[in-house]
Copies of this chain bind each other. A is one copy, B any other.
Amino acid sequence: MTEAVRRPGIRDLAAHVGLSVSTVSRALNGYADVNADTRRKVEEAAERLGYRASFAAATLRSAQTQTVTFMVSKPWTKFVDPFYLGLLDGVELVLQAQGYDLQVVMAREYEAEIDIIRRTVERHRSDALLFGRTRPEDERIDYLQARGFPFVTVGQTLRNDHDWIDRDGVGLGRQATERLIRFGHTRIAYLSPPLRYTYSHHARQGYRAALAAAGLSFDPTLEIECYLSRRTGGEALTHLITSGAEPTALFCGNDMIALSAMEAARALGLRPGHDISVIGCDDMPIAALGDPALTSFTQDLDAVGMRMARMVLAKLGGATEPLQDLVEARLIPRESDGPAP
């Protein structure tokens, strides 16, 4: 471990090329009023000396961090769904192309999230914020709006007067339910993710709409809210069966619930895809591996991430109109659903 090396400052660089500090700064930051030759000379010298502007000094003066923060929520279970990972990939790709850095912070729980947001905003550690897991009424969003701090969410809220990108949850719920109805199912259950999240409302809305459109009566005992554990879908299914609700098909608000339900079904002697149909939602990679493979919906996370990044850049570029983007989801038929018994 050698001694720490003193990093060259902009003054060293200026002295080295025989120009003033201000000219060097303007050359490096792409200002127009600097001769092309001069700029080249400065850039070469910077490269040679290994000069890089101090982050702290630059942001202190310019009030810009050139950094966007993505706050990821901790996944429900150890069976990590790569949701955020895919997203981050897309986000990073377009941000870095525009010279922005992506920073990720992890939040252990919801209270931590609001804290993290306060910290980043109030200490001005980045120029904009990205996050998901939106709720119908979301204090994170209230706070950010009150401060006028730029952000984009994956997912909507009730007010929806901010920038977001989201899948068409209603359409998705409708498609899934319609498919099950076409298969001849009449007792279709909706295993809902926690209702504190907006997306579970949307899926439910689509589910109910499809039932109504088909003239099927709505049975509230067939709707169950599942919580955050690996067994959650299985518990819900067990409850449905033992309480005599007799579902023949399950539309699950996410794949974790669906996988867990299939596991429980097998334990109860029901063969998923034959005795009971199951449809998932977000195409987790292990969903395709299951036995039977889970019918679910496409999710092009990379693309969503890229669009998200473009939205936030537009916002940072001064766009004022609300940016909102609803992305389509296509069903992927696999073997976990089929004709009613």
Interface SS, A side: loop
Which residue from chain B places its CB closest to the CB of A7 in the assembled complex? B122
Given known contacts A80-B80, A146-B2, A89 and B104 CB-to-CB distance under 8 angstroms = no
Given known contacts A80-B80, A147-B4, A148-B3, A123 and B52 CB-to-CB distance under 8 angstroms = yes
Indicate if A5 sits at the interface (CB-CB under 8 A).
yes
Interface positions, chain A 94-125, Cβ under 8 Å from B, are: 101-106, 108, 119, 122-125
A123 touches B54 (CB 8 A): yes
Given known contacts A4-B148, A60-B56, A146-B2, A106 and B123 CB-to-CB distance under 8 angstroms = no
Contact of A82 among B78, B106, B149 (CB under 8 A): B78
Interface positions, chain A 1-52, Cβ under 8 Å from B, are: 1-5, 7, 50, 52
How far, in angstroms, from A36 to B56 measured CA to CA in the complex?
31
A105 contact set on B, CB distance < 8 A: 101-104
A104 contact set on B, CB distance < 8 A: 103-106
How far, in angstroms, from A81 to B80 measured CA to CA in the complex?
7
Which of A50, A57, A101, A106 neighbours the largest number of chain B CB atoms within 10 Å of its CB? A106
Interface positions, chain A 149-193, Cβ under 8 Å from B, are: 149, 162
Interface size class of A (residues with CB under 8 A): 35 or more
How far, in angstroms, from A7 to B256 measured CA to CA in the complex?
43
Indicate if A88 sits at the interface (CB-CB under 8 A).
yes
Cβ distance A143 to chain B, nearest Cβ, rounded Å: 11
A5 contact set on B, CB distance < 8 A: 146-148
A125 touches B55 (CB 8 A): yes
Q: List 17 A-B contacts (CB under 8 A).
A: A1-B162, A2-B148, A4-B148, A7-B122, A50-B122, A52-B123, A56-B60, A56-B65, A77-B285, A78-B285, A79-B285, A80-B82, A88-B106, A101-B105, A103-B103, A104-B105, A291-B291
How far, in angstroms, from A295 to B149 measured CA to CA in the complex?
50
A196 contact set on B, CB distance < 8 A: none
Cβ distance A242 to chain B, nearest Cβ, rounded Å: 24
Cβ distance A164 to chain B, nearest Cβ, rounded Å: 13
Contact of A106 among B74, B102, B285 (CB under 8 A): B102
Indicate if A132 sits at the interface (CB-CB under 8 A).
no
A85 contact set on B, CB distance < 8 A: 74-75, 80
A146 contact set on B, CB distance < 8 A: 2, 5
